[in-house]
Amino acid sequence: MPKSTTHRPSKFKELRDGTIRLFGIPGLPEIQAGDNLPKLIVDAARAARIVFKSRDILVITQKIVSKSEGRIVQLSTPTPSADALSLATTVQNDPRMIELILRESRRIVRKGPRALIVETHLGFVCANAGVDRSNVPGDDAVTLLPKDPDRSARRLAAGLGKRTGKRLSVIISDTFGRPWRLGLTNVAIGAAGVPALLDLRGTKDRSAKSLHATILAVADELAAAAGLAMGKTAGLPVVVVRGYRYRPVRQTAASIIRPAHEDLFR
Amino acid sequence: MPKSTTHRPSKFKELRDGTIRLFGIPGLPEIQAGDNLPKLIVDAARAARIVFKSRDILVITQKIVSKSEGRIVQLSTPTPSADALSLATTVQNDPRMIELILRESRRIVRKGPRALIVETHLGFVCANAGVDRSNVPGDDAVTLLPKDPDRSARRLAAGLGKRTGKRLSVIISDTFGRPWRLGLTNVAIGAAGVPALLDLRGTKDRSAKSLHATILAVADELAAAAGLAMGKTAGLPVVVVRGYRYRPVRQTAASIIRPAHEDLFR
């Protein structure tokens, strides 16, 4: 991993004893294609008497970002290819769904029951390329991942900054499964302003021995933390993380994707 | 996954708008084998004027649990086997370290540069079986994972409960890498009192469509959240998560381990 993509904390004095707070922004309406998400978030926060502070990190679910960007498809739209029809039998899923997944994917990694594990065009390895039926109105509608979630995050951070006058960071989160462990956890698929990877290599531990090869995926930990305050059914798709100390940096969530040639599991 | 090992939230009224707080307990001494960890944690909390509340979740690093349980080995102790010597060349690591890793492992999953990805005797898939040099005093000392981290968590929760009169839950955390994504994140290797997996299958989403196959690994999200307040170099090995709403349950972190026959990546 090139040094330039990671944030070395040694230059930055962190206050270690600060409390980190996680809270959702209630009252957001159902998001529609074309909606101005920064405006809706700022309005909802104002109505809930939430006053943003600089360095607040807003963790926003992929779902509402996709909706605002019009990344919604009706399942009746795509005509399944022969590949999709054949795969649909193997993985026991709707061939139209499979067709959409294949269009979003660069490669199939594994075929599981009711799920294809794929590598998306952006390089994310996840189930069904993020094509998802949940929390979308209409029996037939599914959402796709944002086309470029890091760009979405930068745009949202800029819009939120303009409306609030505060330096706000943004993480776009999605729930991914993982090998070896059951259950989904929230990870960062887009980021603006926050460190994605915190490189502690060469820093000393408590015993003053060097730490070897320790890089923390803090953007993923921030997304996971926010997930606790969202609740999958809760309708709190925007969570504020306040009090996490960091130096604002230009890092992308894409930088968390392990390069294929370094990956022992592709 | 058997139903009995997961927590269905439908029976339990959650207050969704509560703020979750994460804060470390400062002032813990260097932990020694045989130390009474609940006593040291309660003493340190008292000195820092932290008053525990029932349902607080204490996320405790594996490192200090291992130390208190005497799971420390001097690298000079083990005599490397022929297997260890040969592997040491392949993965460019100390043969004595490899020997310890093999003793802690059931199976080698992958051989990487400077790391063996193994399945431990408990079933965790992780680098170097959790054998780790960092934050251990002495040039030659390494820690092993606790022998049964779920039992450790139950014992710690019981000890903390007795000393405080509060119903406290415990997660024992460690930093694991993962395929496809760079960086480490904190996960739960032991748990007592908190849900490990939150089963939302069958619950309705905002659009009143059923959620399919959604199980959240909340113990891992709690560990990751706490990781933000620990800092790898910070010396805050105990973090309190306050305000996360849950129903106390008997679930183990071991229940998060995906059964081998369901795993597409073994």
C-beta atoms surrounding A53 within 10 Å: 13
Rg (CA), chain B: 19
pLDDT at B73 over 90: yes
Nearest CA in chain B to A110: B264
Collapsed DSSP state (helix, strand, coil) of residue A99: helix
Collapsed DSSP state (helix, strand, coil) of residue A234: coil
The structure tokens listed for B186 are: 């904190």
Exposure on the CB side of residue A257, measured as CA atoms within 13 A: 19
pLDDT score for B112: 83
Contact predicate B195/B181, CB 8 Å: no
How far is residue A32's CA from residue A74's CA, in Å, rounded to a whole number? 14
Mean pLDDT of A205-229: 83
How far is residue A185's CA from residue A217's CA, in Å, rounded to a whole number? 13
Exposure on the CB side of residue A110, measured as CA atoms within 13 A: 18
Q: Give the C-alpha distances (Å, rounded to integers) separating B139 from A181, B68, B98, B142, B223.
A: 33, 19, 17, 9, 29
Percentage above 70 pLDDT, chain A: 88
pLDDT band at A200 (very low <50, low <70, confident <90, very high): confident
> Can you name the residues that pair with A110 across neighbouring β-strands?
A117
- What contacts A48, CB < 8 A, 6 or more positions away? A25, A26, A27
Contact predicate A220/A256, CB 8 Å: yes
What does pTM read for this prediction?
A: 0.92
Residues of A in contact with B228 (CB under 8 A): 20, 218, 221-222, 225, 244
Q: Which residue has the higher pLDDT, A168 or B90?
A: A168
pLDDT score for A209: 60
pLDDT at A36 over 60: yes
pLDDT band at B4 (very low <50, low <70, confident <90, very high): very low
How far is residue B225's CA from residue B222's CA, in Å, rounded to a whole number? 5
> What single string gives the DSSP state of each residue in chain B?
--GGGSB-GGGS---TTPPEEEEE---PPPP-TT--HHHHHHHHHHHTT----TT-EEEEEHHHHHHHTT-EEETTSSPPPHHHHHHHHHHTS-HHHHHHHHHTEEEEEEEETTEEEEEETTS-EEEGGG-B-TT-SSTTEEE---SSHHHHHHHHHHHHHHHHSS--EEEEEEEEEETTEEEEEEEEEEEEBS-SSEE-TT-B-TTSPBPPS-EE-HHHHHHHHHHHHH-TTTT--EEEEES-----B---GGGGBPPGGG-TT-
Maximum average pLDDT range among A109-118, A193-202, B24-33: B24-33
Mean pLDDT of B203-225: 79
Residues of B in contact with A222 (CB under 8 A): 228
Mutate to test the interface with A, among B111, B125, B174, B233 (most CBs of A within 10 A): B233
Predicted ipTM? Answer: 0.92
How far is residue A136's CA from residue A247's CA, in Å, rounded to a whole number? 36
Size of interface A-B (CB pairs under 8 A): 256
In total, chain B counts a number of residues equal to 266
pLDDT band at B3 (very low <50, low <70, confident <90, very high): very low
How far is CA B128 from its chain centroid?
15
pLDDT at A8 over 80: no
How far is residue B113's CA from residue B115's CA, in Å, rounded to a whole number? 5
Interface residue B235 vs chain A (CB under 8 A): yes
Q: In angstroms, what separates the C-alpha of A64 from chain B's closest C-alpha? A: 12
The mean pLDDT value of chain A amounts to 89
Percentage above 90 pLDDT, chain B: 74
